[in-house]
Structure formats: C-alpha cells, structure tokens
A and B are shown apart, each in its own frame.
Chain A
Amino acid sequence: DGGITQSPKYLFRKEGQNVTLSCEQNLNHDAMYWYRQDPGQGLRLIYYSQIVNDFQKGDIAEGYSVSREKKESFPLTVTSAQKNPTAFYLCASSIMFGTSGRFHEQYFGPGTRLTVT
C-alpha cells in the first residue's frame, strides 16, 4: 500500500541528546514537510523540501535539522538546541502540478510523539 510511514510512534529521550525522527513515503511525491503540533495548537511548519538535496526553513526551524538525500526519505533531527522538544511531530508529502512548481494537497503520516525529560 502507498503511504507515509513515521517511526517510531513514541520516542523518549533525555534532555541534551539529539534524536532523529524517520519519515518515508512511497507515493512518489516531490515535496515533503515536517510539522510540529503542541496541545490545543495548530500545525507549525519546521522544514520543507520540494526536491532532493534541497530544503527550506519553515516558521520554527531553530533547533532542528533535516536532510533530503532520497526522494522518498526526509528525516528530522531534533537537536539539543531545541528548547522545548516535547511535542507531536507530523510528516507530510505532496505532489507537484506537472512542472508548475505548485503542489497538491498534503498527505500526512501517523506522527511521532516525542517526550524529552
């Protein structure tokens, strides 16, 4: 089945440690995104990538890093510089309209709930 997978579903880390969240898609989508969701809040964009080997900062990129070495993979590293890393992290992907540079709706993975203590 085509879709987006995120692993693990729950992740626990000690403060001061870097942690990498996995996101893989087999939908052949061009663009991939990372969002952060806090309780009672909407989604805030961390990073996005529209093509391989290129990515852009979103609204809250500080303390995070990403890579896009393959079209189907977009891992997110939460570094020790991120002051409040405990949150629910959602990965999404979308396909481009032909060669327009515009994108269709985003499809989301199941999310990873990160707890840092």
Chain B
Amino acid sequence: AQKVTQAQTEISVVEKEDVTLDCVYETRDTTYYLFWYKQPPSGELVFLIRRNSFDEQNEISGRYSWNFQKSTSSFNFTITASQVVDSAVYFCALRDRLDYGGSQGNLIFGKGTKLSVKP
C-alpha cells in the first residue's frame, strides 16, 4: 500500500539556520509523483513542488532545495538560511498511477512537520 512518513513532528530552529525536513514514501508503482506543500497559520495549503519518479535531479528554488533519492525512497526538503516567514506545517505527498484503481491517483499525505523559526 502507498504510504508517506514524515518522522519529524516538530522542528524548531533559529533564523538563518539551515533545516531539512524528511519524507520517506512507499509505493509498489514505478511511476509516481511526489509533492511538497506548505501550510502557514492561515490554513491554506500552498503547492511548492512536484517531482516525477523518473527525474532524480535535485531541484533548487531560491532558499528551497529538494533531494530525491529513489534508492532510499526519500524526498527531503531543505530550507537554507531559514526565516521567520518559513514557519508553517510542511506536508509531503505521493500520487501513483490510476491503474491501481481505488485511489484513482489521488494524493496520499504524510502527517506533516511543524517548523518553527525563531528570530
């Protein structure tokens, strides 16, 4: 069965520290997509990135970077030089193909990691 594990429930850092949020996934499919979302205190989930299973290149977007490792089924997210505005709950999610039916390719979310960045 598909599963996403975010083992870190809460992380607290001081501004300007680097922080890595871990995500480990399980799927039997060879074609799948991984996502990261940010949920600030306002509640709305903000899409950050989508990565497909055939693209193992790491991605960098400003202070954000993602490390996709198929060998360890991980898709970790690093924030460099963290800022107070980065404080939020971050969710990792998985979607595999429709072929398995049932889920019809819907997203499976981890339980989230709450990041607190203190000034």
Q: Tell yes or no: A50 within 8 A of B by CB.
A: yes
Question: Which residues of chain B from 7 to 55 have a CB within 8 Å of any chain A CB?
Answer: 9, 33, 35, 37, 42-47, 50
Q: Is the CB of B105 within 8 A of A106?
A: no
Taking a contact as CB atoms under 8 Å apart, the answer to whether A41 and B111 are in contact is: yes
User: Interface residue count for A (Cβ, 8 Å)?
Assistant: 25
Interface presence of B98 (CB below 8 A): yes
- Cβ-defined contact, B104 with A106, below 8 A: no
Flag whether B77 is at the interface (Cβ < 8 A).
Answer: no
* Contact between chains at A107 and B47 (CB < 8 Å): yes
The B-contacting residues of A in range 86-106, CB under 8 angstroms, are 88, 90, 92, 101-106
- Residue among A90, A102, A109 with max Cβ neighbours from chain B (10 Å): A102
Q: Is the interface of B mostly helix, strand, loop or mixed?
A: loop
Is A40 among interface residues, defined by CB-CB distance under 8 A?
A: yes
**Given known A88-B43, A107-B47, contact A48–B98 (CB-CB < 8 A):** no
Residue numbers in A under 8 Å from B98 (CB-CB): 101-102
The verdict on B58 contacting chain A, using a C-beta distance below 8 Å, is no
For residue A11, CB closer than 8 A to chain B, the reply is no
A81 contacts across to B, CB distance below 8 A: none
Known: A42-B91, A56-B104. A111 touches B109 (CB 8 A): no
Known: A108-B44, A108-B45, A110-B43. 19 other contacts (CB 8 A): A41-B111, A42-B4, A42-B110, A45-B106, A45-B107, A50-B104, A56-B104, A90-B44, A102-B97, A102-B105, A104-B50, A105-B33, A105-B50, A106-B107, A109-B44, A110-B42, A111-B43, A111-B44, A113-B43
Residues of B within 8 A of A (CB): 4, 9, 33, 35, 37, 42-47, 50, 91, 97-98, 104-107, 109-112
Give me the interface of A with B, judged by CB distance under 8 Å.
33, 40-43, 45, 48, 50, 56, 58, 88, 90, 92, 101-111, 113
